[in-house]
Amino acid sequence: MASTSFKSKLAYSSGNLSVNLIAQAFASYIVFYYVDVLGVKPTLISAAMVIHGIVNAVLNPLFGYISDRTRSRFGRRVPYMLFGMVPLAALFTAIWFPVGTGLTLFWYFLTIVLLYDILFVMVVLNYSALFPEMFTTMKERASVSSWRQMFGIVGMIIGVALPPLVYGKLGWGPMGAIFAGIALVFLIIMVSASKETRVVKREEIGFVQSLKFTFSNKAFLWFVIGSFFVQFTFAMLPAAIPFFTKYVLAAGDESNTVLLGAIFIAAIPCVYLWGRLVQKWGPRQTVIVAVSIYALAMIPFLFVQSVAAAAVAAAAIGIGLAGLLVLLDVLLSEIIDEDERRTGVRREGMYFGMNGFIVKWGVSLQAVVLGVILEASGYVKDAVQAEAAVWGIRSMLSIIPFFALLIALIFFFLYPIRQTNSIAGNGDRN
């Protein structure tokens, strides 16, 4: 198969900016907007977000299975992205233009969010599933994954850091429209470079049987459990940092930006380095090193006393986090390759879908752990915290993620694929 041009690799990778921009803006600000700005009852919005989480998780394997079975002259993945990207941008915009008040506003929110979930999963899952099909050697996958994560981190920064500046000057609705426009531009660029050139045997078995085959793959089981605990720490970091800066460091809100910025700034150049290392060491060995560095970087949060020291510790977190951002899709891609050699069928959609289904619950676990620790340690809103509460908050950025990553490390150590073989053969394409 002919090598994919650098221009096409870059264009495909740019789609991750769109994914992370709208995902991070939604996750970071939607509850605040509807509860604190629009005045919807917190219990109603919480219920809507629980429904959103369940629906989003269930849609992943379902859409993955449907995508694997699709036949069209445009391929299995591209038609869904072509059909879904404009409605996705429109629905993301609509979320920020509320209709009605009270219960009417709640039902509007729930309806738009569920429609948004359908389009988001349709586009993003097929975008992800196309990665191992378009890029078939370890060299290409490492390179493209690095570029994807660079674009993704830029999307995270825009989605997390810029909204207060934009809605403060223009309002929430224009902010949503601007972000949707940016996302749509990069989705169009991405789809223009997305080509399904491989002829593969498509999924013919039923949904339940496909699930059984997926979970009979030991490499996938070890991977997805390790990935679950890694994703749990990804969710814990941004959730715990505001509590840490306010109640442990006694610093202002701007310190949240400093710590998150330190993570992102350190991660951007490191994604390239991890891309080179995975080509040299292979995915399994490299992910073990990345998890180890990431886990050790949590320890300083047990004792740091200043924003400057915390920023240094956060930068160390960014180094390990960058490796995991690069490696998770690379590992899942080689699992899919191995599954094709075993079964003769390409099932990227089901594997990415089931991975999405399982790791989504890491966010739910994070919310439970955070709530339990704050409650058990005697946390009091807007007060000087007792020593137990301070240590509880410190543990959310140190002890708890450290032990979660130790568990992840065990499962990545047990991961059975030791030597990567590309679909196109052992040699890299130039």
CA distance 88 to 202: 27
What's the pLDDT score for residue 426? 39
- Which among 396, 244, 263, 240 is positioned nearest to 324, based on CA atoms? 263
pLDDT at 201 over 70: no
Claim to verify: residue 381 and residue 329 sit in the same structural domain: yes
Query: What's the number of domains the chain is made of?
Result: 2
Are residues 245 and 179 part of one domain? no
- End residue of a domain, out of 192, 218, 244: 192
Q: Which residue has the higher pLDDT, 184 or 203?
A: 184
Domain with residue 165: its CATH number is 1.20.1250.20
Task: Please tell me the distance from the alpha carbon of residue 26 to that of residue 21, in angstroms, as a whole number.
Answer: 9
Note the pLDDT tens digit of each residue in 129-181. 999 988 888 889 999 999 999 999 999 888 887 887 888 889 999 999 999 99
Could you tell me if 302 and 177 lie in one domain?
no
pLDDT at residue 203, rounded to an integer: 55
pTM: 0.82
Q: Are residues 36 and 136 in the same domain?
A: yes
pLDDT at 1 > cutoff 60: no
Average pLDDT, stretch 232-254? 85
Q: What is the pLDDT of residues 295-338, one digit of tens each?
A: 999 999 999 999 999 999 999 999 999 999 999 999 999 999 88
185 & 325 share domain: no
Rounded CA-CA distance 372/114 in Å is 28
237: confidence class by pLDDT, cuts 50, 70, 90: confident
Q: Which domain holds residue 239?
A: 205-419
Which pLDDT does position 35 carry in this prediction? 80
Cα dihedral angle (196, 152, 230, 269), rounded to 10 degrees?
110
* 35, 176: one domain: yes
State how far the Cα of 371 lies from the Cα of 114, in Å rounded to an integer: 26
- Res 52 pLDDT > 90: no
Percent of the chain with pLDDT over 70: 94
What's the average model confidence in pLDDT over 399-413? 96
**For residue 204, what pLDDT band results from cuts at 50, 70 and 90?**
low
Q: What is the rounded CA–CA span in Å between residue 362 and residue 47?
A: 18
Length of the chain, in residues: 430
Residue 135 Cα to chain centre, angstroms: 20
> Does some domain include residue 286?
yes
Is 8 inside any structural domain?
yes
